[in-house]
Structure 1
Amino acid sequence: SCCLVPFVGLPFRLKGSGEWVIDGGFCAFQPRDGEPGVVTVATAPLATADITPSIVMPYLWFLRPPGRRPHRAIFDVGYRDGLTFLSKQGYIPAATRDDLLRREGCDDEAELRRRLGLDSSWVLWAESVLLLVVHLAVLRPLSLAVLYAELWTLFALDVATTLAVAAVLAPLGRTTWAEVGARLQRTPERAR
């Protein structure tokens, strides 16, 4: 599925049955690990899937797909990786895999890298530097700001709750913090 709810792909009705459908991110249609007869495929080479790319693709392509030229090469890499998996599992002989790869022009990794535009290491190096800068300059400060905002919000709520409880208990003659704390601990038991 290429659906990113709620950005793209809100629930819709099927034309034939009129049934409402939604992306599997909410429905959890994905197979569980260890189920028999299930082959998992991942787009990232570091994933723990049965079939992963043998050539590292630029991660910026996940945000903005490449042009028309590399698309066929990406398909060829996936085709080659799929046949390699089938060969390792014993579903097809290695000779058949090699013949299919040769026939489709997918047997030369250097040629695939050239067609992808990854024939020089500077592309991956530049992408790595860019991702590091984005991480250090944007993502890390943003995550720290969100964390501190959450902590300050919790602190403010705690202070406001304590002051509200003290204001309620003050007319009753209970003004010491120990008595406020004792009253707060007894309150949930009374609610039950």
Structure 2
Amino acid sequence: MPRHLSSLCVLLSGLLLTACGGVVDLPEEGEPLGTAELAMCSSSAVTQLTISGVSTYQGEMAGSGTWTVSYPANAVRLEFRINNVLQSTSELPGTSGTWYFSSSGLSCGSYLFNVKAVPMVIDSGGGRTTCWANTSKSVSRYADDPCPTFCGDGDCSFDEDAFSCAIDCCQGRCNNGACCSASNYCTDGSYCLLY
């Protein structure tokens, strides 16, 4: 091929590249899913959420459980509530795992514990998207820490009975003031006056 033709080809190829906008950088192969090009939350769901156990002892509640999310979710946002009051949140990466919760400063009594899981997508740049409109799950369980009982608290419970704690355990009184919790009649034959 003549030299003048070769130079002409080089010149024309340069003009073509310039006219067409130059070279375009293509994304690297194998780039992780969850990037901005994907529909971040489409089909994401929490597919499993459990409470393995929750208990309250001396003012502290503790619990744990498991979670699983479906593609394209690759993380979960957990919300922990006691008696419907938000206590804390946690964001955990992965498609499944174990969650843990603890809270202190509770008084004795019965409490409703609830954990809610919402799917999330963490993209390759570290951006975090919580998929609020997608399928979430919520589970609840009661945790009890019985209050200490004492005679005079108005509750006939545990080791109390009509003899050890008449004030809490009597259903009524006889004319002589004795407790008559076992029957409607008193030992002197009179009728028990029920409260």
Interval of TM-score (by shorter of Structure 1 and Structure 2): under 0.3
TM-score norm. by structure 2 comes to 0.19
TM-score norm. by structure 1 comes to 0.20
Q: More strand per residue: 1 or 2?
A: 2
Name which one, 1 or 2, has greater alpha-carbon Rg. 2
The structure, 1 or 2, with the larger RCO (C-alpha pairs under 8 Å, 6+ apart) is 2
